[in-house]
């Protein structure tokens, strides 16, 4: 019996260690895949919109629909920031949509893959006649902030001042009225979601989706 006890304890220790590694490493891996997918897709679209050969950089090619979707001003911001700290509107969800994990066909998304190494970000999203929400996810996939525009505070839209971990500096003047939220990690994702209640509303909601911003603020 004793001869079996030691191997059994060793096996249990290995199993426990494997579980702990998976518990902490898997969320980080999932988030890194998601952020890389969003950024690389946005940079490819921006290069296509700017007339640059995306294939030369090894980025996925952007199709004609994506080329039309990204305007020159947004493309310039994406390229300048290498896909970080800029709100990227996703096209309406289809069966082929994979950029956002498990996207809903009833929602329009805008995603900001953020890096707070250089300081706070100001995220703004306009009020929607249907429904708007903002959610922030840390580097380990934890959803640490969520808000929607259904209450009286959301009638003018939502504003979020995202600050680095441990940041206690005064809010910048340009962020007056924004909800201050401390991110648990320097990197993560902020998602804006607009509910599509009828196909006829899609052009109106796409216009609102494109007004979502995510910019450094001093």
**pLDDT score recorded for residue 25:** 67
**pLDDT score recorded for residue 20:** 46
Give percent of the chain above pLDDT 90: 59
**pLDDT score recorded for residue 57:** 43
**Per-residue pLDDT tens for 64-77?**
343 346 889 999 99
Which residues, 6 or more positions from 175, have their beta carbon under 8 angstroms from its beta carbon?
120, 122, 159, 161, 217
Instruction: Calculate the average pLDDT of the chain.
Output: 83
**pLDDT score recorded for residue 56:** 42
Q: Please state, as a whole number, how many other Cβ atoms lie within 10 Å of the Cβ of residue 3.
A: 6
Residue 207 — very low, low, confident or very high, per pLDDT cuts 50/70/90?
Answer: very high
**pLDDT score recorded for residue 87:** 97
Q: Where are the domains of the chain?
A: 2-216
Alpha-carbon distance values, 171 to 35, 57, 98, 159, 188 (Å): 27, 38, 36, 13, 21
Between 62 and 3, the more confident residue is: 3
Residue 34 — very low, low, confident or very high, per pLDDT cuts 50/70/90?
Answer: confident
Predicted confidence (pLDDT) at residue 195 exceeds the cutoff of 60: yes
Say how far apart CA 46 and CA 40 lie, in whole Å: 10
For the beta sheet containing 213-216, the strands, ordered from the edge strand earlier in sequence to the opposite edge, are 179-182, 158-163, 121-125, 213-216
For the beta sheet containing 132-138, the strands, ordered from the edge strand earlier in sequence to the opposite edge, are 87-89, 107-115, 187-195, 132-138, 143-148
**Per-residue pLDDT tens for 129-188?**
999 999 999 999 999 999 999 988 788 999 999 999 999 898 888 898 999 999 999 999
**In the predicted model, what is the mean pLDDT of residues 40-60?**
71
Which residues, 6 or more positions from 173, have their beta carbon under 8 angstroms from its beta carbon?
none
């Amino acid at each position: 019996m004793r001869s079996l006890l030691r191997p059994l304890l060793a096996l249990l220790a290995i199993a426990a260690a494997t579980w702990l590694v998976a518990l902490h490493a898997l969320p980080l891996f999932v988030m890194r895949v998601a952020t890389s997918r969003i950024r690389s897709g946005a940079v490819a679209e921006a290069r296509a919109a700017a007339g640059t050969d995306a294939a030369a950089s090894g980025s996925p090619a952007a199709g004609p629909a994506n080329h039309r979707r990204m305007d020159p001003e947004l493309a310039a911001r994406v390229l300048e920031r290498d896909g970080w700290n800029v709100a990227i509107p996703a096209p309406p969800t289809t069966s082929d949509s994979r950029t956002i994990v498990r996207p809903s066909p009833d929602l329009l998304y805008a995603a900001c893959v953020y890096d707070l190494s250089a300081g706070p970000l100001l995220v703004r999203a306009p009020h929607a006649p249907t429904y708007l929400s903002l959610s922030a996810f840390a580097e380990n996939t934890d959803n640490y902030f969520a808000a929607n525009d259904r209450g009286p505070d959301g009638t003018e839209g939502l504003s979020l001042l995202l600050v680095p971990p441990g940041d206690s500096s005064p809010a910048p003047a340009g962020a007056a009225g924004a909800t201050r939220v401390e991110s648990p990690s320097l990197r993560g994702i902020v998602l804006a979601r607009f509910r599509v209640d009828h196909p006829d509303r899609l052009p109106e909601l796409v216009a609102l989706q494109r007004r979502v911003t995510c910019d450094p603020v001093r």
